[in-house]
Amino acid sequence: MARLEGKVAIITGAGSGLGRESAQLFAEEGAKVVVMDILGDRAEATVKLVTEQGGTAIAVEADTTAEADVARTVATTLEKFGKLDIMWANAGIVSRGGVPSVMGGEELAFEDFPLEDWHKVISVNLTGPFLCAKHAVKPMRENGGGAILVTSSAASMAAYHSIAPYSATKAGVNGMVRGLSLDLGKWGIRVNAIAPTHGMSPNFLMEQGAPVVGKSYEEVAGPWDKGVTPIPLKLDRPPSLRDNAKTALFLVSDDAAYTSGQVLSSADGGTLARVSIPFPEDQGQPTL
Domain contains 72 = yes
- CATH number of the domain encompassing residue 192: 3.40.50.720
Domain contains 281 = no
Reported pTM: 0.92
pLDDT of residue 222: 87
Domain contains 1 = no
Q: Which of 160, 166, 217, 258 is an active site residue?
A: 166
pLDDT of residue 202: 77
Domain that holds residue 198: 8-272
Give ∠ CA 9-188-157 in degrees, rounded to 5.
70
pLDDT of residue 231: 93
Dihedral sign of CA atoms 255, 261, 266, 269 in order: negative
pLDDT of residue 219: 86
Chunk the chain into consecutive blocks of 10 residues (it has 288) and report each block's average pLDDT, rounded to whole numbers: 96 96 98 97 98 98 98 98 98 70 58 89 97 98 98 93 91 98 98 95 75 84 91 95 97 98 96 76 45
Told to judge if 258 belongs to the known catalytic residues of this protein, a careful annotator would answer no
For residue 35, what are the β-bridge partners? 11, 59
pLDDT of residue 109: 78
Domain contains 283 = no
Q: 3-state secondary structure string, 48-61? A: HHHHHCCCEEEEEE
Domain contains 76 = yes
Domain contains 114 = yes
pLDDT of residue 96: 62
